[in-house]
Amino acid sequence: MIDDPYRDTDLVGLYDLDNPGGADHEFFRGLADQIDARSIIDLGCGTGLLTRSLARPGRTVIGIDPSRTMVDYACRQPGSESVTWIRGDASALAPTGTADLVLCTGNAIMHVSPQALPSTLTSIVRALRTAGIVSFESRNPACRAWEHWTPAATYSERVTSAGQLREWLDVTDVDGGRVVFDAHNVFPDGEDRIYTSILFFRTAEEFQRDLDLAGFSDITWTGDWHGAPIDDASPFYVFRARRA
């Protein structure tokens, strides 16, 4: 276990500025509308920017995330009262078998270890109704994004509400698809706040196998938000599968 890499309130306060949502959020909102989802779970919801935008009359939306800082932030945002917020991972999902759609966005699934992925997918299956849909994106290991996460390539400085921020990434270990990196953050007090993340890069075939074993069918994936086929240059893939 590592400490929550999203536990810094100053940095969580900047998250939505850095990740305002675009084609990804449009894709997930469009999917919810397309299947007329009345019950949606956003697993790894983070600050809940997308989660809150999914809420509407006649639809129940649950946002769930293991980071206390993230969930506390999400709860404080305008419109948060339209969402039920849960602090936890997939094991905290009730096995109701009623959800129409489970989303896992912003590469949140990459935080789930190979040991935990089967039980995570099983929890999702148990939360979904028959023929309910799971959808998520994950970085394509063929692109080897971590090779660009060097201090020199990622260093930046900017003015934030918490003062001038210097920030950079530094990969400390790569073992197969398991990538460990430190995010460095220096505010005006000069302290280097270092948050370590472990991400798991998986091939589409690995996801397909685990989804199949968990009880999903009609497993498909694309190389962007508009349905393009995947190739080695696709930075991520977007999965969709149906509870069998």
Ligand X SMILES: C[S@@+](CC[C@H](N)C(=O)[O-])C[C@H]1O[C@@H](n2cnc3c(N)ncnc32)[C@H](O)[C@@H]1O
Least distance from C-beta 190 to ligand X, angstroms? Answer: 27
Angle between helices 68-76 and 9-18 (to 10 degrees): 60
Q: Tell which positions 90-119 bind ligand X, by CB under 6 A.
A: 90, 105-108, 111-112
Contact 197, 181 (CB under 8 A): yes
46 binds ligand X (CB under 6 A): yes
The residue range among 64-72, 161-169, 174-182, 233-241 that interacts with ligand X, by the rule CB under 6 A, is 64-72
132 binds ligand X (CB under 6 A): no
92: helix, strand or coil: helix
Number of residues that bind ligand X (CB under 6 A): 19
223 binds ligand X (CB under 6 A): no
Residue 16-45 contact track with ligand X, rule CB under 6 A, x = bound: ---x-----------------------xxx
Structure-token match 């946002």, residue found: 63
Options 67, 123, 138, 140; binder of ligand X; rule CB under 6 A: 67
Options 11, 14, 32, 50; binder of ligand X; rule CB under 6 A: 50
Backbone φ, ψ for residue 165 (5° rounding):
-125, 130
Which CB, 165 or 183, lies closer to ligand X? Answer: 183
Apex CA 81: angle with CA 76 and CA 85, to 5°?
75
* Helix, strand, coil in percent for the chain, rounding step 5: 35, 35, 35
Least distance from C-beta 154 to ligand X, angstroms? Answer: 16
CA distance linking residue 55 with residue 196, whole number of Å: 32
Which CB, 107 or 160, lies closer to ligand X? Answer: 107
Which string of DSSP letters, residue by residue, matches 114-151?
TTTHHHHHHHHHHHEEEEEEEEEEEE-GGG-GGGG-SH
Which CB, 90 or 101, lies closer to ligand X? Answer: 90
**Interface ranges with ligand X (CB under 6 A):** 6, 19, 43-46, 50, 65-67, 70, 89-90, 105-108, 111-112
